[in-house]
Amino acid sequence: MNVNQSAPPVPPFGQPQPIYPGYHQSGYGGQPSSTAPPTSYGAYNGPVPGFQQTPPLGVSRAPPSSGAPPASTAQAPCGQAAYGQFGQGDIQNGPSSSTVPTQRLPGSQPFGSPLAPAVSQPAVLQPYGPPPTSAQVTAQLAGMQISGAMAPAPPPSGLGYGPPTSLASASGSFPNSGPYGSYPQGQAPPVSQAQGHPGVHPSQRSAPPLASSFIPPTSGGPRMPSMTGSLPPGQGFGAPPMSQPNHVSSPPPQALPPGTQMTGPQGPPPPMHSLPQPGYQLQQNGSFGPGRGPQPNYGSPYPGAPTFGSQPAPPQPLPPKRLDPDAIPSPIQVIEDDRNTRGSEPFVTGVRGQVPPLVTTNFLVKDQGNASPRYIRCTSYNIPCTSDMAKQAQVPLAAVIKPLARLPPEEASPYVVDHGESGPLRCNRCKAYMCPFMQFIEGGRRFQCCFCSCINDVPPQYFQHLDHTGRRVDAYDRPELSLGSYEFLATVDYCKNNKFPSPPAFIFMIDVSYNAIRTGLVRLLCEELKSLLDYLPREGGAEESAIHVGFVTYNKVLHFYNVKSSLAQPQMMVVSDVADMFVPLLDGFLVNVNESRAVITSLLDQIPEIFADTRETETVFAPVIQAGMEALKAAECAGKLFLFHTSLPIAEAPGKLKNRDDRKLINTDKEKTLFQPQTGVYQTLAKECVAQGCCVDLFLFPNQYVDVATLSVVPQLTGGSVYKYACFQVENDQERFLSDLRRDVQKVVGFDAVMRVRTSTGIRAVDFFGAFYMSNTTDVELAGLDANKTVTVEFKHDDRLNEESGALLQCALLYTSCAGQRRLRIHNLALNCCTQLADLYRNCETDTLINYMAKFAYRGVLNSPVKTVRDTLITQCAQILACYRKNCASPSSAGQLILPECMKLLPVYLNCVLKSDVLQPGAEVTTDDRAYVRQLVTSMDVAETNVFFYPRLLPLTKSPIESTTEPPAVRASEERLSNGDIYLLENGLNLFLWVGASVQQGVVQSLFNVASFSQIASGLSVLPVLDNPLSKKVRGLIDSLRAQRSRYMKLTVVKQEDKLEVLFKNFLVEDKSLSGGESYVDFLCHMHKEIRQLLS
């Protein structure tokens, strides 16, 4: 409960930046607070006497109550509680001391000359605007009693969820119509380019060529260098996937009876080569080519099987065979290999089109002109020059952008550049911001825009001479001329209404209905807030947060609190007319925490008492958000609402919902309605919130269906977060809830933000995925944006690209910092362009592809049957791989399954997406769980989707007890579990400790403090604190995993053969799932069949 102990304020962006004397550090760091003095809110037009007649809280008890008996608390059984948590892929980078080959921009060069005149930031202190008009007050007065109805709600428009633009609908269709067979054979690229590919970067050079990386050399016998799934000629495929009589629910590997002919989609399992020599060279980004020896056909047969591969002969009768799971591409091995080859030296961003290390690799980034992969990751770093090529390959061209990503302490936060009153320098035509790719000409008097080619004059104050290479001599002194990422101080032109913004405000809005009181939530929350308010986000060196706070409680009516510092006691004002929400007080509602501390503490002490005996079970929801938004509007500031809500809002009010959960809709054409909001009220409300810069974070504590799909609309469209604690009980869930709450309240947020992605001629951003709102086709509007939120952007060609000039992206985010400073954050990234498909396939990043494809599919379920969405994904994946097979792999039998090196995990990862709860739910997954996960995934970054779809499974007793590093993971399959061991499994949301039935008694004693396996309590969520090395190690590892994720992962202990094991097995994603999801082996065969069909 004591925040002081566990939650120190951590300025996540802060670190001194000595080498840029002329700049101040980004505001999350050393930005002097003097630019944002604590604002006095005195300009609020004084008290409104009429609204202060309510007696002090202690006197006034019991707000109006409907008197409904608390019978409705006879709740349906809780759904799976497995989704309370959400993981932030943490990108911690270990320091690296290795030297970097000199790059285009020597990073070690100090930014010597102090330029950029001392910042004279205009005071952001702004009075709170015009006083409420008399009309307003009158309306308020009227509203206190009763008042008119709200404007008619717009018609429900579930389909309109998302940007209401033609683009959105266009992109809502699934790209699966690649002109596949029409590809001219002659275009098959010279794959031998693999070695001399331009733009090969230093880290590539250091990467040892990996041989046969498909197969971890685990057990005796030579490992297969490659794999070929081949089919006996003439064998038919025809049956639809998913129902596979031969592969009933046993996990792989599956033993087939002698002579079994695979029917249906499967074909025989891919026979395995046993050739000992490498089938291909693994390049970092590359594929393999003829110059590198044999094709990576996973050619020769697994033991006892006939050789399919290039053999034309029909297969011999099949002896009993077993597909060796070790012989198919292993995520664990790929992750391990990348860590070994790329984790040891920094990733230097000076060279165009470099593929960064995997998100699972710890590496340091040196910004030398392109944005760090922590900010932007692309599906491919070499994009086709023409749209025909792109269509042929079907590889989505997308960037996953995390504009405010947190950096490890070793890396510099973006520098803040202040150009004074003239503001940042931009291209006159396309409005792109000055960046390292702009070309200065005519002795430095003009510059040519790298995005639109427009020639611009250099303003006199920005003029500088060029050196003999045409580069400005001050290039290294200016972040905007030498770095991939930096910030500009925005001028007043970039502010709403041409006024510098006020500091943002936080409003805590607490459900005090019967359920919230009964579970102890209200008491817990109020107690926590008393200390948590000391940890509101601050800018750099500020002594106290500039953020003001306000409080509202509600059930079917709203209670506002006056906590003005001059009051002896807080005052409550009740607004029962929820149809026409207004804020009954201005002065005293949003206050400085320190000034009003005594009154706030008194309020938080009283709230649980006031409502202790409530019988009110009904709640409203939309009016609560409306009230918070109106309060921010009245205060003329941006901000965030923290809503703590327990039930389906069935009270009579705008946004009233009905229980429309219907599991019978699953697998029907109407399943999509489960994901759509049931009313358009929330979308309209969200639009108003975005206009006000009002971000909504929602904490849900449901005992039954609450319609997450509808309730999460406003958080989703305002850049907020949703947390869900099903069947909340203080004793079981307080640790998780409080941990999430502390992080959520303390996290740095950019408010009232607009993001625009500009591109060089030839491609443009056409589609966007994430938690935001769009009112046109280009501007991503974010009422709030935190360091975890990610926007995925898809690009399409609108012209031919040029290999020489490549393609450029510039992401510009305009936002208000938590101290009220208006800023622009710029990220630039240059990509290569290719005329050979092999170059595309050599420079893809599968983790990013999966991030895009999952978001694409999860949006698709709003409009299409889930099966259609799944089929579309499968088709697209098959097209991607078939195009590679046809155009980039050397000639070989059509029976061979050949995967591009950097996409060899595409099938296994895609299968995980296909059988995820959103696309193929198990019986225990509730509608709310699916809606919850759907919206979580929408703003996940690449590391998060990676671990979410393919969980980490860590054996705990195999590695030496004294080892301090995380144990090496094993593949997520039941056959990797030893019943003599214990394992931790995590996916960013869930954390399981699985205990094998034969685990040593000493281990049981050391971890659980009981004598035997049978005495371990099933479903345990806390390990006893024991003073022995194993206990300390396991608890330490759990703490470490939790620290890596942005949400707290609750632990569940699962015993082998226990009933909870079903839940756990759902995360063993390489196995066939109970909901019908294919095993990895089966899916690979399925994919091979699809590819063969495309190639035939």
List residues binding Zn ion (CB under 5 A).
427, 429-430, 432, 449, 451-452, 454
DSSP count for the chain of H helices, then E strands = 26, 30
Those residues whose C-beta lies under 8 Å from the C-beta of residue 573, and which sit 6 or more positions away, are: 51, 52, 54, 144, 559, 560, 561, 562, 584, 585
Structure-token pair, residue 612:
């202790």
Q: For Zn ion, which is the closer residue by CB, 429 or 1059?
A: 429
Estimate the crossing angle of helix 1080-1095 against helix 866-887, to 10 degrees: 60
User: Any residues with CB less than 8 A from the CB of 641 and at least 6 apart, and which?
Assistant: 506, 507, 509, 625, 628, 629, 694, 695, 696, 697
> Residue written as tokens 């009422």?
783
CB of 401 to Zn ion, least distance (A): 20
Q: Is the dihedral of CA 744, 750, 752, 753 positive or negative?
A: negative
Tell which residue, 488, 466, 471, has the closest CA to residue 422: 488
The SS3 assignment for 715 reads: helix
Query: Nearer Cβ to Zn ion, position 810 or 821?
Result: 810
Give the nearest distance from C-beta 807 to Zn ion in angstroms: 14
Cα–Cα distance for residue pair 580/382, rounded to 1 Å: 54
Residue (432 or 840) nearer to Zn ion, CB: 432
State the nearest-atom distance from the C-beta of 424 to Zn ion, in Å. 14
Give yes or no for a contact between 770 and 792, defined as CB atoms under 8 angstroms apart. Answer: yes
CB of 454 to Zn ion, least distance (A): 5
Q: Which is nearer to Zn ion, 445 or 663 (CB)?
A: 445
Cβ pair 620, 575 in contact under 8 A: no
State in angstroms the smallest separation of the CB of 598 from Zn ion: 56
Nearer to Zn ion, 829 or 880 (CB): 829
Which residue has tokens 């004793």? Answer: 731
Least separation, in Å, of the C-beta of 438 and Zn ion? 9
Q: Which is nearer to Zn ion, 243 or 428 (CB)?
A: 428
The answer for residues whose C-beta is within 8 angstroms of residue 107's C-beta and 6 or more apart is 100, 348, 350, 366, 367, 368
* Pick 640 or 758: Cβ nearer Zn ion: 758
DSSP three-state, residue 880 = helix
Q: How far is the CB of 449 from Zn ion (least distance, A)?
A: 3
Which of 243, 439 has the CB closer to Zn ion?
A: 439
Nearest to 93 by CA among 444, 346, 340, 434: 346
Q: How far apart are CA 933 and CA 786, in angstroms?
A: 19
| CA-wise closest residue to 849 among 387, 405, 384, 380 | 380
**Is residue 447 within 8 Å of residue 437, measured between CB atoms?**
no
Considering beta carbons, is residue 427 or 854 the nearer one to Zn ion?
427
**What Cα–Cα distance (Å) separates residue 317 from each residue in 259, 261, 323, 371?**
6, 9, 16, 56
Distance of closest approach, residue 799 Cβ to Zn ion, in angstroms = 15
Nearer to Zn ion, 159 or 430 (CB): 430
431/670 with CB nearer Zn ion? 431
For Zn ion, the closer of residues 364 and 831 by Cβ is 831
Tokens 């009003």 sit on residue: 596
| Helix or strand run (H / E) with residue 1005 | helix 1001-1008
Would you say 65 or 760 has its CB closer to Zn ion? 760
Provide the minimum distance between the beta carbon of 453 and Zn ion in the complex, in angstroms, as a whole number. 7
Q: For Zn ion, which is the closer residue by CB, 358 or 427?
A: 427
- Shortest distance (Å) from residue 23 CB to Zn ion: 25
Structure token digits, residue 619: 């709640």
Q: How far is the CB of 429 from Zn ion (least distance, A)?
A: 5
Two structure tokens written together for 246: 């031969």
Shortest reach from residue 760's CB to Zn ion, in Å: 9
Cβ–Cβ under 8 Å, residues 809 and 829: yes
Task: Work out the angle at residue 322's Cα, subtended by the Cα atoms of residues 319 and 327, and round it to the nearest 5 degrees.
Answer: 130
**Helix ranges (DSSP H) in 82-238:** 134-145, 166-172, 193-196, 202-206
Q: Which residues contact 307 (CB under 8 A, 6 or more apart)?
A: 230, 271, 299, 300, 301
Q: Whole-angstrom Cα distance, residue 856 to residue 127?
A: 44
Strands of the 763-769 sheet, one edge to the other: 376-378, 398-401, 791-797, 763-769
Q: Cβ 458 to Zn ion, closest distance in Å?
A: 14
Which residue lies nearer to Zn ion by CB, 66 or 456?
456
CB of 475 to Zn ion, least distance (A): 19
**Residue 451 CB, nearest distance to Zn ion (Å)?**
5
